[in-house]
Amino acid sequence: MLSLLPIRQGMNPAGFGEAVSECGGRVLLIGEGCRDAATQLRGIASEITIVEAGTFAPAAWARFLAIQLGGEDIIVFSASPDGRDLAPRLAFELGVSLYAGAVRVTAQRVDLAQWGGQSIESLQPESRFVATLQIGARDVVGNFANGSVVELEYVTDKTSNDSTFISTTPPDAASVDLAEAPRIVTGGAGISDADIFAKLGAVATALGASLGATRVVTDRGWVDHARQIGTTGVIVAPRLYIACAVSGAVQHTSGIGQPQHIISINTDPSCPMMRLADLAVVGDVNEIIVELESLLTVNASAT
């Protein structure tokens, strides 16, 4: 098994560690700044192949990779936007099946999330296939001292009809895919009304974070279901997770991955989310949100 990571400007895609771990540390990096991206794989990767291929060109890359990887039976992408774009193209060029939205990949079994994550379908895959692994679906493991690094020369396919790259726009925290968000502020059942939830959104914006919600909040209609986090919503993998009035039911905590830092604000000091938190604040989240929104607005005006 080989994990394949499309690289933009020296940065690995979301879920890169999980995809590499699923493949036992074997990984190929292709794109722009792969040498820099490889340094982020220390301890995770055992065997690294680098292809400096410039800006994202999925059609040309798929044709090149199909030649280079013809001997690989199983190729796994993280289900990042670029991974979901390149994976089907490569599967087509290789003439193999694509299993999209997997939560587990082995040579004998592929588990696919179906119906928005509400059910898991287990399949016996063909001997050769391409798969995308959902972000936040598994732990990152590995204890490799220094993975070996091999570099391949990229040969451009001038016959491909890829779009022309113009520029990269920084992501907008308010609209970025939650699965890609490095910072998330989530509101739960303890939020008293829609006005307070709107203030929570202002707090998230001021912190450069994306706004999330539990199922109770989305059922109230305060935010679209695309913002629902958990096994029945979006599975995320942020570096910072701020849970406001979120009790921490297993359906929710199973979908937040392994954040580097968790902050929880709740009136119940013994709820599951407070026990998971690096910083637990006991208090009425509705009053705290109002105060935070006021402080952040004042600071933003001052700058």
Predicted local distance difference test score (pLDDT) of residue 303: 52
Predicted local distance difference test score (pLDDT) of residue 147: 67
Q: 61 and 185, same structural domain?
A: no
Q: 194 and 111, same structural domain?
A: no
Q: 188 and 225, same structural domain?
A: yes
Q: 55 and 182, same structural domain?
A: no
CATH code, 294: 3.40.50.1220
Number of domains the chain is built from: 2
Q: 212 and 106, same structural domain?
A: no
Residue 164 lies in a domain: no
Both tokens assigned to 11: 């940065």
Q: 125 and 195, same structural domain?
A: no
Residue 161 lies in a domain: no
Q: Provide the β-strand partners of residue 128.
A: none
Residue 168 lies in a domain: no
Q: 207 and 141, same structural domain?
A: no
Contact of 187 with 214, CB cutoff 8 Å: yes
Predicted local distance difference test score (pLDDT) of residue 47: 92
Both tokens assigned to 267: 């009136």
Residue 266 structural domain: 178-302
The whole-model pTM stands at 0.72
For the chain, list residues with pLDDT below 50. none
**3 class by beta-carbon count within 10 Å (0-12 exposed, 13-18 middle, 19+ buried):** buried
Which residue from 263, 250, 248 is spatially nearest to 190, judged by alpha carbons? 248
Q: 268 and 223, same structural domain?
A: yes
Q: 236 and 280, same structural domain?
A: yes
Give dist(CA 287, CA 269) in Å, integer: 17
Q: Provide the β-strand partners of residue 282.
A: 266
pLDDT digits (tens, 9 = 90+) for 240-289: 999 999 999 988 998 888 888 999 999 999 999 999 999 999 999 999 99
Residue 42 lies in a domain: yes
Which residue from 297, 265, 291 is spatially nearest to 278, judged by alpha carbons? 265
Residue 173 lies in a domain: no
Give dist(CA 303, CA 299) in Å, integer: 6
Q: 98 and 6, same structural domain?
A: yes
Q: 95 and 182, same structural domain?
A: no
Q: 134 and 6, same structural domain?
A: yes
Both tokens assigned to 102: 């997997």
Residue 158 lies in a domain: no
Which residue from 198, 233, 197 is spatially nearest to 214, judged by alpha carbons? 233
Domain edge (last residue) among 102, 117, 152: 152
